[in-house]
Amino acid sequence: MIKLSDKSRRVLRRIYQGLGAATVSLLFQACYGTPIDDSVTIHGKVSSKTDIPIQGIKVSVEHFSSELTNENGNFNIYVYGQTSYDLQFEDIDGPSNGSYKTLKKTINLSDADSPVNVQLDEADEE
């Protein structure tokens, strides 16, 4: 039997610890996929043509999710990375804070980091 010095044991222990961590990482990735995703946050503000923030506008991203604007007209939507996104801004709360026309807008992935600020036209009264 070979007797190892304390220094050699420490080196071997570090090697085994590194191999153990690498094995756990590979098993995690095999079971759950890559832990790093390519999600993007699309954010911005919805206001009227007179620059008043609009609350309650449904902002939706085609094939993903939607969110309502807050009292300051702001929204945040988390989506997976694509080359472009089709956004729709829709007034769904009725005339309680004014009535606005639906707007569709396409943005590119390179624009997703910048705020998407839109101004909605008022809907025609019937």
> 64 to each of 18, 36, 113, 125, how far by Cα in Å?
39, 19, 17, 32
Per-residue pLDDT, 32: 59
How much is the average pLDDT of 64-72?
A: 90
Does pLDDT of 78 surpass 50? yes
| pLDDT, tens digit (0-9, with 9 covering 90-100), for 18-27 | 777 777 777 7
Model confidence at 11, in pLDDT bands (50, 70, 90)?
A: confident
Per-residue pLDDT, 15: 82
| pLDDT, tens digit (0-9, with 9 covering 90-100), for 104-126 | 999 887 766 788 999 999 987 65
Cα separation, 81 vs 36, in Å, equals 12
Q: What is the residue-averaged pLDDT of the chain?
A: 82
**Percent of the chain surpassing pLDDT 70:** 87
Residue that the structure tokens 């995703």 belong to: 37
Model confidence at 45, in pLDDT bands (50, 70, 90)?
A: very high
Cα separation, 104 vs 118, in Å, equals 10
Is this structure's pTM higher than 0.85? Answer: no
Counting Cβ atoms within 10 Å, is residue 59 exposed (0-12), middle (13-18) or buried (19+)? buried
Per-residue pLDDT, 112: 61
| pLDDT, tens digit (0-9, with 9 covering 90-100), for 21-44 | 777 777 766 665 554 567 788 899
What is the CATH architecture assignment of 39-120? Sandwich (2.60)
